[in-house]
Amino acid sequence: MRRTDLFGLGFMAPALILTIMFFLAPVVMTGVYSFTNMSTATGISGGAYLISPATIRSLTEQGFQGDAIERLSSESYVVDEAGLEAAEAAGYTPRFIAEIRSTLLGDTFTGRRDFERALKDLSHRPRSIRDLKKATELFQKSVLNVRFETEADFQSALSSLNLNLSPAEAVFLTETAYTGWIWTSANYDRAVNLPSTYRATANSAIYVTFTLAFNVGFGLFLAITTFYLPSGQAAFFRTIWFLPRILPPVLYVLMWKWLTWDTGFLSTLLSHFGVPPHNLMKHTATHAWVVVVLINGFVGASMGMILFSSAIRSIPQSMLHASEVDGANRWQQVRYIILPQLRWPILFTTAYQTLSLLTSFEYILLSTNGGPGSATNVWALYAFKIALNNYGGNLEYGYGAALAMVLVIIGIIASLFYLRLFNFKSMITSPRIEQ
């Protein structure tokens, strides 16, 4: 590699590192998570091995019976010399150990609380209740409700129970007892088979299509109309239309709520004309969509407006002057001069906003929150709620990641399509506007 190449790489390094950290790594991690059943209950960092009453029920359903299930599901504490030695090694006082030996040696307890109560009756018991309870573990001969952090510990505890399981049963037992996440492709099967996935797909399609059409159409309208205004007025109007973008989203949506709620401005105004108050944001699915498209549209349109305005300004003035000499009216100027020259900015805005709308849900979350009745629950919001945010708090990271992954794939396909449509190479070689 030449030194100049290294030099270039050095310059690029910070950007590369950031790209990898904040763009590539999350996508790769999402891909990895999407093939797991990771959730709040499995945890992220790995699991343990636990035989609980729930495990026992699954085992029974799978045909485990007789001695094996009996031993797994019972609790047993036996006061024996081995336990007393362990207690000694653990640092319990000789007086306490001697008292256990003299009063409880040989006793068996079938419940931990019974054994604890027996220990509590001793006069030389440890002062700390935690130490007393820990002592019971040294005499434990059962595995019920014991959390084993490693498989080796779990297997050695099982072997002391003499369960006589077939190899297949032993594997099933270990799998059932494992609390952590496992690799699976079930998330994708589940996504394909659920009605809510199709609803979210349809919602995303509606959202992207209508918002995009509004963004581009209205952005274009603003750019052209302000172009023909005196520059001072034009700047004033552009600034006004730019406000939705610079307002904090929470505040912006709050103003929409005040406008559209049944106790809000519009309802109050209309009530003077005998119209009963409606929550215009959530009255029906159509109401919700109109509001969602407008909320997002006004924000998106401001960006289109800026891009289109600057593109119109870069059209050589001589062309417009010449057209006026030829007697063209405003509409003809727009139709035959301005719009053809805006082809690329329009395509760029369309491409860029398709991708950002596919993954954006913040304004929907703040306004309709996917309602009424999931009517505006777009794919990205659906994935967010499954993976990270719902009332029950049972977060399904794995399934949510699979849903997010679908968006990533759609995004990549759309990008490739747009790059091809743009003929990207030719765009970066020479500016079309000057050809």
CB of 276 to another protein, least distance (A): 7
- Spell out the residues 6+ positions from residue 347 whose beta carbon is closer than 8 angstroms to its own: 418, 421, 422
Nearer to another protein, 210 or 282 (CB): 282
Nearer to another protein, 261 or 379 (CB): 261
> At residue 103, what are phi and psi to the nearest 5 degrees?
-105, -30
Contact 293, 204 (CB under 8 A): no
CB of 363 to another protein, least distance (A): 15
Bridge partner list, 140: 77
CB of 54 to another protein, least distance (A): 6
Indicate the SS3 state at residue 108.
Answer: strand
In angstroms, the CA 414 to CA 354 distance is 8
- Give me the sign of the Cα torsion angle 74, 77, 80, 84: positive
In angstroms, the CA 386 to CA 408 distance is 17
CB of 221 to another protein, least distance (A): 31
In angstroms, the CA 158 to CA 402 distance is 36
Contact 78, 104 (CB under 8 A): no
CB of 111 to another protein, least distance (A): 9
CB of 408 to another protein, least distance (A): 22
Nearer to another protein, 218 or 363 (CB): 363
Helix axes 379-387, 343-359, angle to 10 degrees: 30
How many residues are listed for the chain in this entry?
A: 435
In angstroms, the CA 184 to CA 205 distance is 29
Nearer to another protein, 355 or 395 (CB): 395
Nearer to another protein, 129 or 240 (CB): 129
Nearer to another protein, 350 or 369 (CB): 369
Nearer to another protein, 131 or 217 (CB): 131
Nearer to another protein, 217 or 249 (CB): 249
Nearer to another protein, 298 or 385 (CB): 385
CB of 207 to another protein, least distance (A): 16
Q: What is the DSSP string of 156-216?
A: HHHHTT-----HHHHHHHHHHHB-S--B-SHHHHHHHH-HHHHHHHHHHHHHHHHHHHHHH
Torsion, CA 351, CA 352, CA 357, CA 363, rounded to 10? -150
In angstroms, the CA 220 to CA 238 distance is 12
CB of 46 to another protein, least distance (A): 9
CB of 359 to another protein, least distance (A): 19
Nearer to another protein, 19 or 390 (CB): 390
Separation of CA 219 from chain center:
31
- Residues in contact with another protein by CB under 8 A are 39-45, 47-48, 50, 52-54, 57-58, 61, 113, 117, 120, 128-130, 133-134, 145, 147, 179, 190, 193-196, 257, 261-263, 276, 278-279, 282-285, 368-369, 371-375, 388-396
**Amino acid identity at 73:** S
Going by their DSSP bridges, the two strands 108-109 and 147-148 should be labelled as unpaired
Cα–Cα distances (Å) from 26 to 221, 236, 272, 385, 408, in that order, read: 38, 41, 53, 18, 11
Nearer to another protein, 179 or 415 (CB): 179
> At residue 77, what are phi and psi to the nearest 5 degrees?
-125, 120
CB of 112 to another protein, least distance (A): 9
CB of 194 to another protein, least distance (A): 6
